[in-house]
């Protein structure tokens, strides 16, 4: 893989995807006064007649989207990840239970959001949405993959939640490699035979850096971009179980209920496998610059490296 | 519009007969299941009978016909009222009604669009239906379709904040295809609304949110039919009917009785109810 270039934030990819999707007249966009932040504003500028502004009223937005989906539209509704959570029961009862293909995007996910502080830093969204039957849960790592995966939602057929990030992250894909992505299939970004680092969202680039540094220590680490948390790609985990000595998960999310938990649940059903989780350790975030805060909370390549070493030293 | 897609245009006596038949289905269904919500089904059924008998355009042979009018029953616990009318309209058979609340039944405890032909919304969690109806009505407008969306809510239900989010949004977007009916039966789950948390002058409040509003006696069939026609023709924005009703209407010992909000009649009670409804 070529050296990563700097792209936009994954939320920019979401905005670009909406523009591409606008060619389909069924696509409608719903906003709750954060369209400039989630980037649905790009769609609004071109297609105001298919954009519905619902004010700061997330519960209403979710059900308006459901009603539109029941009437043949393909709704994309977005706000901050944390504020989608206010409407959790609406998503559960009003969208997923009747099987309506509403696509929710929660932007500004995770600690990475930065200086706004803990009220804006969703660290439990992946966990709660993962519990809803039939809801696809996605968290892309860069702008290009966010765009690609969002475009794929058009005919996905069931409801989805996509978490995007506020800040720019290094690109893990280019315009060609991104085309190989598929919802529900983990993406192998780097080969390696000792450790598998399974990461999602903004932690994927940290995982790549960690793998590079581990290489220098003689530890060969593969990196999997697990952009889809649900359905979880068990095949790519099986391959890691057979060919590696342990797995390190990495996510900008609580270690309770997110990617690490999903992987742990799967491994447990297979009789267990050495696993370490890097994530938010059951605490709230706080204000701070994004990168500073990620270090403060232990969401770094160094933490991934430390966990990888522990596995190598203990098995 | 061909086939059975036109309005039914039932007469007042026919509608009265229809709602009486529905009342019998309601009490029987709930007795048979040993559970269910008679009070709010009986308060709403006159309005629902008039809605299906005079306004809604749908095709029994094609329940998913995209240009059908929508009926969003937001107070989904009053499902027996919906199943009884769907039976009378030919969507459900007698046997379906007798399986109400049983494992695998098309008549789920609360109305559910995934399980029942003719049901447009999956309810059960109060406060969500008006938003859903707003989505249906917005989609209809984008499609330049004249299909209407009718939403029914309970007066206890409007304690939910989401109802007021939807009222505000419908006015802002001036969605005239959206019609709301409030079943103002003055009783909710535990007790009377004025004991639990009084909602007050509902009509004025909804009017203050920019809607056109009418108040009616929700058991006077002529008034109901006239109000439904008014709402149907109201094109300046969303319209609402606040229907003053009696919870448990038609069965003396259920009328105005909070204990029959969510309780099935026993054998003797069913007998008495059917006698009164015959
Ligand atoms: C969100 C939510 N909270 C609580 C309930 C439980 N519940 C079912 S019916 C009911 C009372 C509803 O009262 P109202 O809206 O007045 O309906 P009606 O009297 O017409 O039956 C309650 C509290 C529910 N279904 N949904």
Domain termination site, one of A171, A206, A241: A171
pLDDT band at B83 (very low <50, low <70, confident <90, very high): very high
Domain termination site, one of A127, A142, A171: A171
Q: What is the CATH number of the domain that holds A163?
A: 3.40.50.970
Nearest CA to ligand 1 atom 17: B154
pLDDT of B1 reads: 32
Structure tokens belonging to residue B208: 């203050």
Is A58 an active-site residue? yes
- pLDDT over 60 (residue B52): yes
Question: CB distance from B73 to chain A under 8 Å?
Answer: no
**A154: distance to nearest CA of chain B, Å?**
17
CA distance B26 to B41: 7
Q: In terms of domains, do A217 and A94 share one?
A: no
In a domain, A130, yes or no: yes
Q: In terms of domains, do A189 and A220 share one?
A: yes
Q: What is the CATH number of the domain that holds A275?
A: 3.40.50.920
User: A-contacting residues of B 34-53, CB under 8 Å?
Assistant: none
In a domain, A234, yes or no: yes
> Residue A291 belongs to what domain range?
182-314
Distance B155 CA to ligand 1 centre (A): 9
In a domain, A177, yes or no: no
Alpha helices, H only, chain A: 10-21, 35-38, 41-46, 58-69, 81-84, 88-89, 125-130, 143-152, 203-216, 234-243, 259-269, 290-296, 301-314
Task: Please give the mean pLDDT across all residues of chain B.
Answer: 97
Q: Quote the number of domains for chain B.
A: 1
Which residues of chain A fall below pLDDT 50?
1-3
Element (H, E) at A136: strand A136-138
Catalytic choice (A31, A58, A148, A209): A58
Give contacts of A57 with chain B, Cβ < 8 Å: 162, 165, 168-169
In a domain, B249, yes or no: yes
> Residue B207 belongs to what domain range?
12-276
Nearest CA to ligand 1 atom 22: B189
pLDDT of B5 reads: 80
In a domain, B261, yes or no: yes
- pLDDT over 80 (residue B3): no
Q: Quote the number of domains for chain A.
A: 2
In a domain, B209, yes or no: yes
The rounded percent of chain B whose pLDDT value lies above 70 is 99
Among B30, B37, B39, B40, which residue has the most ligand 1 atoms within 8 Å of its CB, making it the best to mutate?
A: B40
Structure tokens belonging to residue A147: 């765009």
Find the mean pLDDT for residues B137-159: 98
**Of residues B2 and B196, more confidently modeled:** B196
pLDDT of B124 reads: 96
In a domain, A176, yes or no: no
CA distances from B162 to A60, A64, A139, B129, B193 (A): 6, 11, 29, 9, 18
**B111: distance to nearest CA of chain A, Å?**
11
Nearest to A58 by CA among A112, A2, A105: A105
In a domain, A146, yes or no: yes
Q: CB B161 to CB A99 under 8 A? A: no
Q: What is the CATH number of the domain that holds B23?
A: 3.40.50.970
ipTM: 0.92
Find the mean pLDDT for residues B67-90: 98
Q: In terms of domains, do A101 and A193 share one?
A: no
CA distance B177 to B166: 14
Spatial CB neighbours of A134, under 8 Å, sequence gap ≥ 6:
A96, A99, A158, A159
In a domain, B61, yes or no: yes
Pairing assessment for the beta strands A103-107 and B239-244 based on DSSP bridges: unpaired
pLDDT of A96 reads: 98
pLDDT of A5 reads: 60
């Amino acid at each position: 893989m070529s050296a990563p270039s700097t792209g936009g934030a994954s939320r920019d990819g979401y905005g670009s995807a909406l523009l591409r999707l606008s060619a389909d007249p069924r696509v409608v966009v719903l906003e709750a006064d954060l369209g400039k932040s989630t980037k649905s504003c790009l769609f609004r500028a071109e297609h105001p007649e298919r954009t519905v502004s619902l004010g700061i009223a997330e519960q209403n937005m979710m059900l308006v989207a459901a009603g539109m989906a029941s009437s043949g539209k393909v709704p994309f509704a977005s706000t901050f990840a944390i504020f989608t959570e206010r409407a959790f029961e609406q998503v559960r009862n009003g969208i997923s239970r009747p099987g309506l293909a509403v696509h929710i995007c929660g932007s500004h996910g995770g600690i990475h959001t930065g200086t706004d502080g803990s009220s804006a830093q969703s660290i439990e969204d992946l966990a709660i949405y993962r519990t809803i039957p039939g809801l696809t849960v996605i968290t892309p790592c860069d702008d290009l993959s966010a765009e690609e995966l969002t475009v794929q939602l058009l005919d996905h057929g069931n409801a989805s939640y996509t978490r995007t990030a506020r800040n720019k992250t290094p690109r893990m894909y280019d315009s060609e490699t991104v085309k190989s992505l598929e919802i529900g299939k983990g993406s192998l970004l780097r080969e390696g035979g000792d450790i598998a680092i399974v990461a999602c969202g903004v932690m994927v680039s940290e995982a790549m850096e960690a793998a590079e540094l581990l290489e220098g220590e003689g530890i060969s680490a593969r990196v999997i971009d697990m952009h889809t948390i649900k359905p979880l790609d068990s095949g790519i985990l099986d391959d890691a179980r057979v060919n590696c000595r342990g797995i390190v998960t990495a996510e900008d999310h609580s270690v309770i209920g997110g990617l690490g938990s999903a992987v742990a649940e799967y491994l447990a059903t297979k009789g267990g496998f050495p696993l370490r989780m890097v994530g938010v350790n059951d605490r709230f975030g706080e204000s701070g610059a994004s990168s500073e805060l990620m270090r403060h909370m232990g969401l770094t390549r160094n933490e991934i490296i430390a966990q990888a070493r522990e596995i190598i030293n203990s098995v | 519009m061909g086939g059975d897609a036109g309005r039914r245009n039932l007469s007042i006596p026919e509608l009265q007969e229809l709602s009486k038949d529905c009342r019998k289905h309601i009490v029987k269904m709930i007795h048979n299941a040993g559970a269910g919500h008679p009070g709010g089904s009986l308060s709403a059924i006159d309005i629902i009978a008039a809605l299906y008998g005079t306004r809604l355009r749908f095709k029994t042979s094609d329940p998913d016909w995209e240009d059908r009018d929508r009926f969003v029953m937001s107070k989904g616990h009053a499902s027996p009222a919906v199943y009884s009318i769907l039976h009378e309209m030919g969507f459900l058979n007698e046997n379906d009604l007798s399986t109400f609340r049983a494992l695998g039944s098309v008549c789920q405890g609360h109305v559910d669009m995934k399980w029942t032909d003719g049901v447009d919304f999956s309810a059960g969690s109060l406060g969500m239906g008006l938003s859903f109806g707003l989505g249906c009505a917005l989609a209809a407008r984008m499609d330049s379709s004249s299909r209407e969306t009718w939403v029914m809510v309970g007066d206890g239900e409007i304690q939910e904040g989401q109802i007021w989010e939807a009222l505000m949004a419908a006015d802002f977007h001036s969605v005239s295809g959206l019609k709301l009916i409030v079943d103002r039966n003055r009783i909710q789950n535990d007790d009377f609304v004025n004991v639990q948390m009084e909602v007050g002058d509902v009509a004025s409040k909804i009017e203050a949110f920019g809607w056109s509003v009418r108040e009616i006696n929700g058991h006077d069939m002529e008034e109901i039919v006239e109000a439904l026609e008014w709402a149907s023709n109201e094109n300046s924005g969303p319209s609402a009917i606040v229907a003053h009703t009696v919870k448990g209407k038609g069965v003396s010992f259920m009328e105005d009785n909070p204990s029959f909000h969510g309780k099935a009649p026993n054998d003797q009670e069913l007998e008495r109810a059917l006698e009164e409804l015959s």
